[in-house]
Structure 1
Amino acid sequence: MKQLFTELTKLTVTSILVVSLYACGGAEERKIKYLEKGKAYLAEKNYKKAKVEIKNVLQIDPKFAEAYFLLGKVEESKMELIKAIGNYQKAIELNPELNQAKINTARIYVIAGTDHTIKEAMRLLDEVKKTEPENIEASLIAATLEYKVGSKEKATKSLELIVDKDITLVDGALLLANIYIKNKQYDKAKSLLIKSSENNPKDIKIRMRLAELYANGLKDAVSSERVLKELVEIDPENFTLTVALSGFYARTDQIDKAEVILKNAIKQDDDDVRRYLMLIELLASRKGTNIAERELLKAIDSKPELYSLRFSLIKFYNSIGRASEAKAVLKQIIGEKGFDVEGTKARNELARILLNEGDKLGASVYLKEVITEYPSNNDALLLSGKISLANQDPVSAINGLRTVVKNNPKNSEAALLLAKAHEINAESSLAEEVLKRSIESNPVNDITHANYARYLVSKGRIDEAVNVVDKAMVYFKESYDLLSIKLKIAGSQGKKLEVQSILDLMEVADSSKADVNLIKGKIQLSKGNMDKAIEEFEKAFEKSVDKFKPLELIVKTYVYNKQNNKALTRLQKQLEINPNDAVSNQLLGQVYLSQNKVNDARAKFKIAIQDSSSWMVPYSSLASTYISEKDFEKAVEVYQNAITKMLNKSTAQIQLAGLYELQKDFVKAMEIYKQILVDNPTNKLAANNYASLLLDHGNQSDYVKALDLSESFEKNQQSALQDTLAWAYAKTGKNAKAVEILKPIVEKSPKIAVFRYHLGYALYHMGDKAAAKSHLEIAASSEQEFVGRDEATKLLKSI
C-alpha cells in the first residue's frame, strides 16, 4: 500500500507539473494571439477592437511594456493625446529602452508647444539619440522643434537632409513643403510633394497638399483637378475627398459637376447627414435658398426616421435668418420625442436660439427641463453657464462649467467660458490654469492655443501671447483665429504693413468671413480711399448674414463724405427688393436725421419696427427723436411698446428707466429696475443701477437694501459695480471696507471724479481728513457731472 501510495503521489505531482506547464504555455500563446490581433486591428484603424485585444494582453501580463505602447498608439490615433501620453509613459517605465514610445511622446509634446512640454520633448529626444544617434524619426521631431523655438534656417536645412535621406517620411515632407510654400518657393514645394506622393502612393495628405498648391500657389486648376480625381480613385468611400473635389468644382464655377458628385455621394450612404448638408450648402449658395430648401424637405419626406435631417433643416433655417421656422421644427421634435436623445437635443437647440435672440428666461426654461432629467448634460450646462455669465453670476457659471470640462476636457468653448468665469470672480490664476490645461488636453485644436493667447493679450502680456501664437502657427498655418490675434497685436503696435499682410492671409484662410473685409474697408477709409473702402464693405455685405453692420458702414461712408445722394441711392436699391426691410429703413431714417428731416426719419424708424418688432435699434432711434425735442411722454410710449414686443425686454426696460432718471423721476426708475430683478434676479446691470439710486436718493434703510443688492459684486472686476458696493459700505458706516475696495479702483481709473468722491467720503468718515482732502479736491474741481458734487464741495470746505 505504501508503495502504491508513493507511486500515486509521484503520478499526481507529475500531472500537476505537466498541467501547470501547459497552462503557462497556453497563457503565453493567448497573450501572443491577442497581441497580434491587436496589431492587426490597429493597422486596419479599427481602434475599438484593437483596444479590446490589447487590454486582453494586459490582463494576462499587466507589466508588458509593448501592450502599453500599442494602447498609446490607439489613443493617439483617436486624438486622445493625454491618454496616449499616459500609456507611453507606462511603457517607458516598464521598459526604459523602448525608444519608439519616447519618440511618440516627444512628438505629442512638440504639438502641445508649452515651455514644459518642449523641455520634456528635448529630454526624451536626447535619451533616444544616446542609443540610436541615427534614428530618423527622432531627428525629424528635433528639426521640427528647432523650427518652432530655434533657428528656422538651420531647421529647414536639417529637414532637407532628413527628407532627402527618407522620402517616405510623410510628416517631414509635409512640414518641409509647407515651409517652402510659406516662403513662396512653389516649384520646390511642387517637386518635393510629387516625389513624396510617388514614394507614398496611398498617402492622402501629401496629394491633398499638392492639390492645394496647384490651386492656390501655382494657379494650375487642371493639375489640381487631376490630383483630386486621383485621390477619389484611391479611396472612393472617403467622403472628405469627395467634398474636396466638389469644392474644387464649386470654386471654379462648375456647379453642375459639384452637384452631381454630392448627389452620388448621398446614394453611396443615404444615412450620412453630412452629405445632404454639403449638397444643401452648395445649392443655397449657388442656386438659391428655395431650391436648397425643396431638396432638404424632399430628403426628410423620404427618410422621416432620420431626425438628423430635421436638425439639418433647423441649421439651414438658422443660416438664412428664418429662426421662427427653425423653432417650429424644434418644438415638433420635442413633441414627438419627449426626453429621448433627439428631444433633449431639440430642447438644447431651442434654448440656444432663444439665448441668441436675447430671451434668457425662455432659454432657461428648456435648459432646466434638460438638467432636471439629465444633471450632467454638457450642452445644457454649457448654455446655462453662458446665461450665468451674461447675468454676471460667475459662481453659478463655474459650478456648471466645471462639470462640462471634467466630462469633456477637449471642449475648448467650455474651458474658455470657465476661464472667463474665474476671471470675473477675481481668480486669475485659476483662469490661466484652465486655459493651459485646455491646450494640454487638446493640443491639436488651434482654438485652445488662440484662447490662451487672447487671455495673455488681455493681461498685457503681449510677448508671451506672440510666442504662443507663433508656436501654434507652425502647425496651424491657416488658422483664422490665430491670425486674428496676430492682427490685433500688430494693429495695437501700429505695424501697418504687417496688418495688411495678415488680413490677406486671413482672407485666404476663410474667404467666407465678412470681418476681414470690414477691417480692410476701415483701413482704406482711414487713408481717405473712399471708393476702395466702399468696395470692401460691399464684399462684407455679400458675405454677411446680418446685413446691418456692413450696410451701415457703406451709408456712413457716403454721409461722412457729404454724398447723401449716394447713400440714399444705395438704400433705395435695397428697398426695391423689399420696401419694408428693417435694416434699410433704419439706416434711411438715420440719413434723414443727419439732414434734419425728423418727421421723415420717424416714418422710416416706424416701418423698421413694424418689419422687425423684436429689434431694439429702431425703437431706440425713434425714442431719441422725441427725447431731443423733450417730448418725454412719446419717448416713454416708444419704450413701453418695445417692452411688449421684445423677447428680452430688459434692454428696453433699462433704457426706459434711464429716461425716467433723465427726468429725475427716480421712483419710477427704481420701480422698473425692481421689476427687472423680479423677472431675472441675477441681472447685474439692473441691480447696480437700482442700488445706485437707493444710495444717492434714499434713506438709511435704503442703504442697507443697496448693500444687499450689491454684495455679489465683490469678486466682479468691473469698476462700476465695485464702486457701487464700496459706496454701499460707506453709506452703511463700513468705511474701512469701502476704502479697501475703492483704493485699487481709483488707482486704475484716477480721472473718474465720482470714484474720487466716494473714496474721499469714506476716508473723511474714517477720520483720515488729510487723505480725504486730496481726493475731494480732484472730484470737486473736475468738470465731470456726478451725483454728490455739492456734498464733495461741502466736505472739502469742512476740512
Structure 2
Amino acid sequence: MSAIFMACSSDAEKKVAHFEKGNAYFEKGEYKSAELEYRNAIQIDPEFVDAYARLGETYLKLGSPKDAFREYSMVAKLAPENTDAALKLATFYMLGKKNAESREKVEAVLAREPNNIEALFLLAGLHDLDKKFDAAAAVFKRIIALDANQARAYMGLARIYARQGKFDEAEKQLVQAIQLDPKEIKPRLELVRFYSSRKAFDKAQAQIEKAIQLNPDRAELYLILGNFFFQMKKNDDAERAYLKAIDIDPSDVKPYMVAAGFYDSRDMTDKALAMYDKALATKPNDVNIMTTMAGFFLKHRKVADAQGYLNKVLKERPKFFPARMMNGEIATYKKDFTGAIAIFDQLIKEEPRSARAYYLKGVAHMGNGELQSAKTSLSKTVELNPKQPKAKMLLADIAMRERDFNNAQKLSEAVLDEDPKNYQARMMLGNAFMAQGKTGEAEIAYKLLIAEDPENPAGYYRLGLLQRATKNYPAAMENFNAALDLNPKLMDVFTNLILVYGAQKEFDAALNRCDAQIKKVGDANVPKAIISNLKGGILLAQKRVDAAKNAFEAAIQLNPEFMPPYYALARIYLTEKQPEKAIEQYTAILEKNPNQAGPHMLLGTIYDMQHQYDMSEKHYRAALKINPQFAPAANNLAYLLSTRNGNLDEALKFAQIAKEKLPDDPSVMDTLGWIYYQKGLYGNAVQEFQDSLEKLPDNATVNFHLGAALFKKGDKSQAKPYLEKSLALNNQFEEAGEARRMLSEI
C-alpha cells in the first residue's frame, strides 16, 4: 500500500516539476521548450487544467491559433467555470466570424460575473459586428461606469459614434481617453486615425508630434510619423523620420526594414539594399529578414540572389512556410510551372486556408495553360479572401478567354466596388463591355481611365480601338496620337493609327507620318523596323512595288528577327511570278557572304509559299546553323515540322526557342499552339491561340486553330463561332475543309 502511495506522490511531483520548468522556459521566451514541458506534465495528468491553459498561451506565442484553440477547448471541457478559457474561446469564435458561438460563451461568463470587463468588451465587439451600434455604445458606457479609467472603452465608444456619423461625440471620447494618461500612445494614435479619416491632416500630424514630444525615445513613433508623411507624399520628411527612428534605437531591426521598404517603393534600390543589409547585420540569423530580402531580389529579377537567401533560411528552418512559398514563386518565374504547382500543393496540404498558396497555384496553372485548374484555385482564393483583387482579375481574364464576357464584367465590377481607382479592373470592364457590343458603356470606362491617369497611354489606346471599330476615325486618330505623344515607341498604337489612315485611303499622309515617327523613335531599331514594314504595306497599296521592296528590306536590315517583312517580300516575288529571280538574287548574296541567316530565311519563306517544303526546311536549318537562336527560322521550321508529319518533339524545341525570343509575336504563339494541338495538349493550345487571336483577330488560320482546339477539348459550342469566322474570312484557306467537317458535327 505504501508503494502505491509513493508512486502517486512521485507522479505528482514530476507533474509539478515539468509544469514549473515550462513556466520558466515561457518567461524566457523559449516557447518550444515550454511546449514540451507542458506536454510532459499533461502526459502524467491528462486532466491538468493549468497545463492546458499555459499550453494554449504558448501556442499563441508560437503563432499557432489552431493549436491554442484546441488547448483552451480542453480547459473549458475540464473546467467549465474557467472564465479565462471561456473568453479566449469566445475571442477565437469571434475572429472566425462564428458570432453565435462567441456570444454563447460571453453570455455564460456574464451570467456568472455580470461586471466582468473583458466579457463586456467582447459583447460590445459582437454588437458592433452585428451592426447593433446603440447596443454596443450602451455596453461601452457600462464599462466606463464600472471603471472610468478604461481607455479602450472610450476608444470603442468613439468608433461607434464615428460609424453613426456622430463625429463631434467621437472626438470628445478620444480626447477623454488621452486625458487619462497623456503619455499613453494608443489613444493618441486612435485620434490620429480619426483625424486622417476626416482628412484633418494638420490635426493628425500635430497629434503624432505631440506623442513624440511626450515620448522622445520611442522609435516607433518616428516610424508612424514617417508613414504619415509618406502617405502625404512628403518623401523627404518621411525619410528624415525613418532615419531618426534608426538613430534612436540602432539595435531594433524594424526601422531598417521600414526604411528599406520606403526606398524600394521609390526605386532607390541601392539604399533599400543597404538598409536590408544593416537589418541583417543586427540580427544575422533572422529568417524573416532573409525571406524579405529574397522577396526584394525576386522583385528585381535577381533570382540567384533570392534563391541564395532562401537556401539559408531553409537550412535554418526547413519547414519555414513563407520561404517555401517563395520557392514556389521562383519556380513560377523560371516557368517551371509543374514544379511550382507541386510546391503549392504541399503548402495547401499543410495549411488548407492559405489564400496566397491557392492564388500562386492558380497563377502557375495559368502559366501551364490549365485554365480550368487555374479557375478552381483562383475561385478558392476568393472564397478564402473575398477582397483579393488579383485573383478576381485573373478570373476575369479567364472569363474573357472563354468568351464569358458577362462574368468578366461582374468580376471587374466587384473589384471596382472595393477599389474604385483600380486601373486594371476599369480596363477589363471596358474590354468586357466592348466584347459584348456595349460601346457606350465601354466608352465611359475608357474615358474614366483617361480621367484617372491622363499620363497613361493605355486609356487613349483602348478608346482609340473602340472608335476605330465603330469607324469614328477622326476621334480614333486623336486618341492614338494622344497615346503616342506620351510614348512614341508604342508600336501597337502606331500600327492602328496607320490602319486608320489606310481605311480612309490617306496613303500619302500615312507615309509622311511614318517618316516623322522614324525620327521620333531615334536610334531604336525595333520600332523603326515596324514602321518600315508599315511603309512597305502603304507603298504596296499605292502599287509602288519597288519602293515597297526597299521598305521591307530596310525593315529586315533594322531587325532581322522581325518576321512580317520576310513574308511580304516573298508574297511580292510570287505575285510578280518571278520567284526564280528572287531565288537567284538571294543565292548570289549567300555566295558572296554565306554566313548570313537573313537570306536563308527569305529563301525558306519563298520555298514554303511554293510548297517546296524540302527546300524551305533546308534553308531554315541553314539559318539556324548560322544562328541557333534565330527566332524567325525557328518558328517557321517548327510549324513546318508540325504540319508535314515531322518530329513533334523537335518542332516543340524550335517553337520554344522562338517563343523565348519573341514572346509577344502572334505567329509564334500560333505555331506553339499548333504543336500543342498536335501533341493533344488542347488546354495549352487554346491559351496560345487566344493570345495570338488578340493580335490577329481577322486571320482565318488562327481562328480555325482556336476553333479546332476548343472542338477537340470538348467545348464545341465555344468552337463554333471561331470555325464560322475562319470560313467567313477565307473559305479557301488550307484547312477550310476541316473547318466545315467540324462544323457539320456541331
TM-score (norm 1): 0.56
Candidates 650, 655, 658, aligned match of 1:676? 655
Q: Which residue of 1 aligns with 2:716?
A: 746
Q: Which residue of 2 aligns with 1:211?
A: 192
% of aligned pairs identical?
A: 15
What is the SS of the residue equivalent to 1:246? helix
Distance (Å, rounded) in 2 between the aligned partners of 1:375 and 1:227? 36
> Is the contact between residue 69 and residue 87 of structure 1 (CA under 8 Å) also seen in structure 2?
yes
Distance (Å, rounded) in 2 between the aligned partners of 1:32 and 1:795? 75
Q: Which residue of 1 aligns with 2:561?
A: 641
1:675 Cα deviation after fit: 0.9
Structure 1 248/427 Cα, relative in aligned 2: closer, same or farther at 3 Å? Answer: closer
Candidates 241, 262, 266, aligned match of 2:246? 266
Distance (Å, rounded) in 2 between the aligned partners of 1:256 and 1:264? 12
* Mapped pair 1:244 → 2:224: yes
* Mapped pair 1:70 → 2:45: no
Q: Which residue of 1 aligns with 2:69?
A: 85
Structure 1 100/145 Cα, relative in aligned 2: closer, same or farther at 3 Å? Answer: same
Amino acid at match of 2:177: S
> Is the contact between residue 161 and residue 170 of structure 2 (CA under 8 Å) also seen in structure 1?
yes
Distance (Å, rounded) in 1 between the aligned partners of 2:397 and 2:114? 44
Distance (Å, rounded) in 2 between the aligned partners of 1:739 and 1:524? 32
* Worse-matched range after superposition: 126-135 or 551-560: 551-560
Candidates 172, 178, 183, aligned match of 1:191? 172
> Is the contact between residue 38 and residue 49 of structure 1 (CA under 8 Å) also seen in structure 2?
yes
Q: Which residue of 1 aligns with 2:78?
A: 94
1:382 Cα deviation after fit: 1.2
Matches within 5 A, 1:265-304: 265-270=245-250, 275-276=255-256, 278-279=258-259
Q: Which residue of 1 aligns with 2:566?
A: none
Cα offsets for 1:128-149 (capped at 9, x unmatched) = 566556655445445544544x
What is the SS of the residue equivalent to 1:89? helix
Distance (Å, rounded) in 1 between the aligned partners of 2:408 and 2:175? 34
Q: Which residue of 1 aligns with 2:360?
A: 417
1:219 Cα deviation after fit: 1.0
For structure 2, the residue ranges without an aligned partner over 5 or more in a row are 400-406, 432-439, 502-508, 541-547, 564-596, 598-626, 692-700
Higher relative contact order (CA 8 A, sep 6+): 1
Matches within 5 A, 1:214-363: 214-217=195-198, 219=200, 221-222=202-203, 224-230=205-211, 233-234=214-215, 236-239=217-220, 241-249=221-229, 258-270=238-250, 275-276=255-256, 278-279=258-259, 327=302, 341=309
Structure 1 571/138 Cα, relative in aligned 2: closer, same or farther at 3 Å? Answer: same
Q: Which residue of 2 aligns with 1:536?
A: 452
Distance (Å, rounded) in 2 between the aligned partners of 1:779 and 1:563? 27
Distance (Å, rounded) in 1 between the aligned partners of 2:239 and 2:673? 61
Distance (Å, rounded) in 2 between the aligned partners of 1:218 and 1:234? 25
1:548 Cα deviation after fit: 5.4
Distance (Å, rounded) in 2 between the aligned partners of 1:719 and 1:590? 21
> Is the contact between residue 186 and residue 218 of structure 1 (CA under 8 Å) also seen in structure 2?
no
Q: Which residue of 1 aligns with 2:328?
A: 382
Distance (Å, rounded) in 1 between the aligned partners of 2:100 and 2:252? 44
Distance (Å, rounded) in 2 between the aligned partners of 1:618 and 1:124? 73
Matches within 5 A, 1:419-498: 419=362, 424=370, 426=372, 431=377, 435=381, 439=384, 492=413
1:190 Cα deviation after fit: 1.6
For structure 1, the residue ranges without an aligned partner over 5 or more in a row are 1-12, 349-371, 440-445, 461-485, 508-512, 542-546, 575-580, 695-704, 732-736, 758-777
1:783 Cα deviation after fit: 9.8
What is the SS of the residue equivalent to 2:242? helix
Q: Which residue of 1 aligns with 2:680?
A: 710
* Mapped pair 1:399 → 2:342: yes
1:686 Cα deviation after fit: 9.2
Distance (Å, rounded) in 1 between the aligned partners of 2:16 and 2:481? 85
Structure 1 215/571 Cα, relative in aligned 2: closer, same or farther at 3 Å? Answer: same
Give aligned pairs, total: 616
Amino acid at match of 1:94: L
> Is the contact between residue 673 and residue 689 of structure 1 (CA under 8 Å) also seen in structure 2?
no
Structure 1 173/266 Cα, relative in aligned 2: closer, same or farther at 3 Å? Answer: same
1:420 Cα deviation after fit: 5.8
Structure 1 552/254 Cα, relative in aligned 2: closer, same or farther at 3 Å? Answer: same
- What CA RMSD, in Å, does the superposition of the two structures yield over aligned residues? 6.7
1:208 Cα deviation after fit: 1.9
> Is the contact between residue 124 and residue 139 of structure 2 (CA under 8 Å) also seen in structure 1?
yes
Structure 1 234/101 Cα, relative in aligned 2: closer, same or farther at 3 Å? Answer: farther
Distance (Å, rounded) in 1 between the aligned partners of 2:637 and 2:457? 26
Structure 1 157/411 Cα, relative in aligned 2: closer, same or farther at 3 Å? Answer: same
Candidates 506, 509, 514, aligned match of 1:601? 514
> Is the contact between residue 425 and residue 716 of structure 1 (CA under 8 Å) also seen in structure 2?
no
What is the SS of the residue equivalent to 1:752? helix
TM-score (norm 2): 0.59
Cα offsets for 1:205-246 (capped at 9, x unmatched) = 44322112223416152454234541685584453x321112
> Is the contact between residue 52 and residue 72 of structure 2 (CA under 8 Å) also seen in structure 1?
yes
Distance (Å, rounded) in 2 between the aligned partners of 1:560 and 1:176? 60
* Mapped pair 1:104 → 2:50: no
1:400 Cα deviation after fit: 2.4
